[in-house]
Structure 1
Amino acid sequence: MAVVRVAAILGLTALLPMAAFPCRAPRPQHPNNATDNTTESKLLGTWLYVAGAAQFPQHLLEMLLIDHGHLDVEPRASEQELLITQRVAVGDQCLTNNSTYFEIRAGNTTLVKHAKTQQTVGTLMNLSSEDLLLIQYQLQRERTYLGLYLYARNLSLSTAQQEEFEHQAKRLGLSQEEIVYAPWRTELCQTKEHEKANSPCTEPTAAVTASPPPGTHEPGSAGNEHHIRQ
């Protein structure tokens, strides 16, 4: 099924129907959270899915099925591990999965690892802006296929930020035609902040919202130029 195959695009191994989250205990605080200069504190929170690029032709077609998505990054028991809860909107469904996590190593190298197998499935790449998250994935088939996925704190990317993503894609051998931007026409998948605002366990808080950038093209061609709000 096309919905299941979307798992490969974003490094997921099992997609489950969207389910209500139980009330959570307060987020644990680690000693290295005392300063905003740590890798951990920079990664925590909500990241909105902006775009993806992939060499594998089937993945390019599948990326066109994604309307929007996001990551919620939270601490785990280990200070070097951060839980990734990922949601993607495909058709009229919001699919969620938390089978992967970030592992922060010495020198601020950050890997994306599978929770059960401990296999490394991706690497966090360095960017000039702390408001962007760029993850490189590798798919092993008859040869190694690369994927690159961009997340941001909001959808108001500058021209320079968009160009940096496209430059990184080009460095990996990914062409402009292999880049697909998420249109964000609907908001089936609510961010963690929005869920908390609607939860009886917490006081209402401002929800994080994201609107489609004006001038966004209809999906149908992976090479369509994408216009970002300035």
Structure 2
Amino acid sequence: MGSAGLLLVLGLAALLPADAAPCGAQRPDSSTAAQLLGTWLYVAGAAQFPQHQVEMLLIDHAFLRLEPGAGGQELLVSHYVAVGNQCFTNNLTYLEVAAGNATLVKHAKTQQTEGMLMNMSSENLLLIQYQMQKERTYLGQYLYARSLSLSTADKEEFEQHVECLGLRAEQIVYPPWRTEVCQVKEAEGSDSPHAEPAAAATAAPAPGTPWPGSAGN
């Protein structure tokens, strides 16, 4: 699916109601927003449909950069995705962290909800769950972490979230991180890494390549 078609799907997608937390999992709220700032490395993803699994295999590595928004109730999300020898960027989503509300992923232009953050046992793990609906429901789980080193317990926990959505462990794709097209370097004077694209960036990945967590039907 091309980038224009992908954005169209995202604009038309309808998510579960904001108060519907699948599998009984609690979602982070504004009290934990500060812990989300910084860079999150894409370490695993699971998608419902085979074509989305194939698309995820095109991604060598990816990460998110979360920064505070101007209004104080949003965290701006910058995506970095390496496909082939190019580093693509996108900043059309943000996390809504209004007091008393669950943290949701929203599209900046359409204001439509695209996903929700789910709690993990470690503050160094970030799980985004998608359950979008168009002609048919699209299910996906995408795991980000502060480092690429996942423990066996971390992987098992992610598999449990995947299976809770009705997906299978065999549908999980782990990006290889073979190149350094999109570089992640330690920020000077900080314990959190920051993103530094090593190649010219563009607004969307190559046709047929999704952002992790944003594939349409």
Normalising by structure 1, what TM-score?
Answer: 0.68
1:58 aligns with 2:67: no
Instruction: Label 1:206 to 1:167 Cα distance change in 2 as closer, same or farther (>3 A).
Output: closer
Answer yes or no: is 1:168 the counterpart of 2:156: no
> Where do residues 62-141 of structure 1 align in structure 2 (5 Å cutoff)?
62-107=55-100, 109-141=102-134
- Which residue identity does 2:118 align to in structure 1? M
Shift of 1:98: 0.2
Counterpart secondary structure, 2:182:
coil
SS in 2 for 1:38: helix
CA positional deviation for 1:69: 0.5
Aligned to 1:224: none
Q: What is the letter of the counterpart of residue 39 of structure 1?
A: T
* Structure with greater strand share of residues: 2
Contact kept in structure 2, 1:6 and 1:63, CA below 8 Å: no
Name 2:173's counterpart in structure 1.
180
Give the Å deviation of 1:97. 0.3
C-alpha spacing 1:122/1:78, structure 2 compared with 1 (3 Å): same
Count of equivalent residues: 175
Paired residue for 1:150? Answer: 143
Alignment gaps of 5+ in structure 1: 14-36, 198-203, 210-230
Q: Taking structure 1 as reference, are residues 88 and 181 closer, same or farther at Cα in structure 2, changes over 3 Å only? A: same
Structure 2 runs not aligned, ≥5 long: 12-29, 195-217
Contact 2:10–2:114, Cα closer than 8 Å, also in 1: no
1:60 corresponds to which letter in structure 2?
A: Q
Counterpart of 1:46? Answer: 39
Does structure 2 conserve the Cα–Cα contact (< 8 Å) formed by 1:12 and 1:100?
no
Q: Which amino acid aligns with 2:47?
A: A
Q: 1:122 to 1:90 in 2, by over 3 A?
A: same
Shift of 1:206: 8.7
Deviation of the 1:178 alpha carbon:
1.2
Instruction: Note the alpha carbon deviations across 1:27-51, whole angstroms, 9 max, x for none.
Output: xxxxxxxxxx931211000000001
Shift of 1:83: 0.2
The change in CA–CA distance for 1:42 and 1:205 in structure 2 (over 3 A counts) is closer
Provide the identity percentage.
63
In structure 2, give the amino acid aligned to 1:77.
Answer: A
Distance 1:172 1:205, change over 3 A: closer
Change (3 A) 1:188 1:93: same
SS across alignment from 1:89 = strand
After TM superposition, give the deviation of residue 56 of structure 1 in Å. Answer: 2.1
What letter corresponds to residue 66 of structure 2 in structure 1?
V
Whichever residue aligns with residue 63 of structure 1, its letter is: M
Decide which structure has the larger Cα Rg and report it. Answer: 1
TM superposition score normalised by structure 2: 0.72
3-state SS, counterpart of residue 128 of structure 1: coil
SS of the counterpart of 2:66? strand
